[in-house]
């Protein structure tokens, strides 16, 4: 994967800090969900968690309106990736996801991680009931992953162009990350 942590100065340090805080809260919530999945019954979800994605989406819309896509030179490599993840989780606003995808694609090489573009492309396609290009999004039926991939014969070539591991390696990582038993 490309190195997007340039030593250049960041144009919007306040926005960088805000994106980082939103990202951290997003990840704390999702970690809590993973822990809930291990319990026999989910406890009542805190109100803060129920509205986290909506609040993050609303703020990301404002940020994108203000500065355009949060690129490496605008907010730094880490915060640019964090912004991508917040938009990735904006599933209730697919039009905003599409808008951000177009902005990301329009940026010069090195300003946006190619793998972030690939993941958001697939997310938008899944949210729009279209087949994926890169096979990054999984829907689980029991312990079997289900993916609808356009032109599956060339998916590995497309994945490689975007700096992604093979589909098999990605699937193996998903089984490990989510502690899912592989089917025989």
What residues does each domain of the chain span? 13-130, 137-184
Per-residue pLDDT of the chain (184 residues; tens, 9 = 90+): 444 544 458 999 999 999 999 999 999 988 887 776 666 676 676 677 778 999 999 999 999 999 999 999 999 999 999 999 999 999 999 999 999 999 999 999 999 999 999 999 999 999 999 999 999 998 877 777 778 999 999 999 999 999 999 999 998 888 887 777 887 7
Q: In whole angstroms, give the CA distance from residue 14 to residue 18.
A: 6
């Amino acid at each position: 994967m490309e190195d997007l942590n340039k030593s250049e100065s960041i144009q919007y340090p306040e926005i960088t800090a805000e994106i980082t805080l939103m990202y951290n809260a997003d990840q704390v919530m999702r970690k809590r969900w993973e822990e809930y999945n291990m319990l026999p019954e989910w406890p009542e979800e805190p109100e803060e968690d129920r509205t986290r994605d909506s609040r993050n989406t609303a703020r990301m819309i404002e940020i994108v309106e203000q500065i355009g896509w949060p690129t490496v030179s605008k907010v730094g490599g880490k915060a640019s990736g964090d912004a991508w993840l917040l938009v990735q989780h904006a599933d209730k606003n697919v039009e905003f996801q599409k808008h951000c995808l177009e902005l990301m694609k329009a940026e010069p090489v090195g300003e946006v991680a190619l793998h972030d573009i690939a993941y958001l492309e697939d997310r938008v396609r899944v949210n729009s009931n279209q087949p994926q290009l890169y096979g990054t999004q999984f829907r689980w039926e029991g312990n079997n992953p289900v993916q609808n991939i356009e032109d599956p014969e060339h998916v590995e070539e497309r994945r490689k162009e975007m700096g992604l591991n093979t589909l098999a390696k990605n699937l193996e990582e998903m089984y490990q990350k989510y502690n899912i038993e592989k089917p025989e």
